[in-house]
Structure 1
Amino acid sequence: MKVQLFIPCFVDQLYPTTAFNMVKVLEKAGCTVTYNTNQTCCGQPAYNAGFWDDSRDVCSKFIKDFSGSSTDYVVAPSASCVGFVRNYYTTLFENTAQMRDVNQLQARTFEFTDFMVNVLKVEEVGATLYTKATYHDSCAGLRECKIKEEPRKLLSHVKGLELVEMNDVETCCGFGGTFAVKFDPISIGMADQKSNNAKATGAECIISTDLSCLMHIDGVMRKKEMGLQTMHIADVLASGW
């Protein structure tokens, strides 16, 4: 399998270790991984802020940066960014000459756990992590990428990991990009509820496919000194080997 890495802006700038761990897991699963250093943003922030023309310019560059064979997959450690490419590029490029390229790109772009389970057919990578954890379903993963069982299947094979489900697991954490800035009291309240539900499970760690969610939840938990840590699933799967 040939894989082009799509590393979202915040992962590149704030959590690069997660990107390297995703590469580690993909290579162990037999993939040939490449990274185009010209890549930038997928265009989601501008789109969500209402600047559709600016977003389209960024998205056009993204399409060019990830052009390639229909057998080359594009894989990212973010359901949010993948969900945007899959679901909103169609709106931005409807009735344009780029639509054919958009359709091809959407068909070969995958969130990391979705790619591992549904394309590679790999659920066990030999990871070991002795901890009790709970899993957070990101809105983008659950609703835009239709991911629910895939991360749980992967986590079920991690030696030493006890996974417990929290109440209201499918409820939003409150991040939502600019939502957290424009409606911060609501956003904080939602993260507070999510962190309380996680704490009530007795877990020591919250795992998710999306670092944007984890960053938001982690900020609230640190403020409350709750003692829980957060981990991206790629970091979990790269543990112990």
Structure 2
Amino acid sequence: MSQLQPRVALFVTCLVDLYRPTVGFAAIRLLEAAGCTVEVPEAQTCCGQPAYNSGDRVTAKEVARGVVDAFLPYDYVVVPSGSCGGMISHHYANLFEDDPEYRGKAEALGARTFELVAFLSDVRGAAALPVEYQGSVTYHDSCSGLRELGVKAQPRAMLARIKGVELREMAEPETCCGFGGTFCVKYPEISTRMVSDKTRDIAATGAGTLLAGDLGCLLNMAGRLKRENSPVQVRHVAEVLAGMTGDLPAIGEAK
């Protein structure tokens, strides 16, 4: 691997591609500022997590094989989502228990796959860009990013270096928002109760902006906040770190 100018493949994720492409552009800006050569493989698809979580191992394996083939040639794979990052780094190898060749490839890919902010902080030692974000923010720790990938201190440390940011912690920042991929579809009443508890915790901070590193969580919480007529803005942390807020509407707001 080239450590001075690593060749990084950005795994965009389905939700970023469909709902918030600016997160992908923010990720590219941050990675290039950290000295990386960034490419977005055209062959990428879904990471396969919806099928995997639903018990459809056949489809998940087929999807994973394509991702492995597309991303293995790169020095690193970076994902602006702990959920998809966790799927690739922690679960792909298990799909190929009966296929030694692809199990080895999946393990190699998993070892070089990182969540965006963790990669910037832990691998590249990136400093904050000379950007500003005026206002108070609170940060939600997504389940996969926190529990599978250990993403906790990194985004807070990078936010602390952004001029104008005041971090106000929730009482329970590590509590699930109730999204959980297909969980919110299978158990809507439980999911609604969980996200309602979460929005109360958010409101109690008095913060003007909610940040997180997973768009699924952000869409879920933004939807609930909007239904509650909350003034809290919702943004992906990469957008703030890259200085790409400006006239960009918050998540859940009309363009």
TM-score, L = length of structure 1: 0.96
Describe the SS at the equivalent of 1:225: coil
Please, which of 89, 92, 98 is the counterpart of residue 92 of structure 2?
A: 89
Residues 176-231 of structure 1, C-alpha deviation per residue, up to 9 Å, x if partnerless?
01110111111011111111111111101110110100100000000000111111
Describe the SS at the equivalent of 2:41: coil
1:94 deviates by 1.7
**Are 1:174 and 2:167 an aligned pair?**
no
- Structure with bigger RCO (C-alpha 8 Å, 6+ apart): 1
Residue in structure 2 matched with residue 208 of structure 1 by the alignment: 212
Q: Distance in 2 between matches of 1:25 and 1:63?
A: 24
Identity of aligned residues (%): 42
1:124 deviates by 1.7
Question: Pairwise CA RMSD of aligned residues?
Answer: 1.2
Q: Distance in 2 between matches of 1:123 and 1:46?
A: 37
1:239 deviates by 1.2
Partner letter of residue 37 of structure 2?
T
**Are 1:7 and 2:12 an aligned pair?**
yes
1:127 deviates by 2.3
**Contact 2:94-2:103 at 8 Å conserved across structures:** no
1:233 deviates by 0.9
Aligned positions, number: 239
Q: 5+ residue gaps in structure 1?
A: none
Residue in structure 2 matched with residue 102 of structure 1 by the alignment: 106
1:152 deviates by 0.6
1:232 deviates by 0.6
**Are 1:236 and 2:240 an aligned pair?**
yes
Describe the SS at the equivalent of 2:198: helix
1:11 deviates by 0.7
**Are 1:217 and 2:221 an aligned pair?**
yes
Q: Distance in 2 between matches of 1:7 and 1:89?
A: 17
Partner letter of residue 194 of structure 1?
K
Q: Distance in 2 between matches of 1:38 and 1:98?
A: 18
TM-score, L = length of structure 2: 0.91
Q: Greater shift after overlay, 124-133 or 204-213? A: 124-133
Q: Distance in 2 between matches of 1:28 and 1:13?
A: 25
Give 1:114-125 correspondences, 5 Å limit. Answer: 114-125=118-129
Residue in structure 1 matched with residue 77 of structure 2 by the alignment: 74
1:66 deviates by 0.6
**Are 1:127 and 2:137 an aligned pair?**
no
The runs of at least 4 aligned residues of structure 1 exceeding 3 Å deviation read: none
Describe the SS at the equivalent of 2:130: coil
Q: 5+ residue gaps in structure 2?
A: 1-5, 247-255
Please, which of 191, 194, 215 is the counterpart of residue 195 of structure 2?
A: 191
Please, which of 155, 164, 168 is the counterpart of residue 168 of structure 2?
A: 164
Q: Distance in 1 between matches of 2:166 and 2:182?
A: 34
Residue in structure 1 matched with residue 61 of structure 2 by the alignment: 56
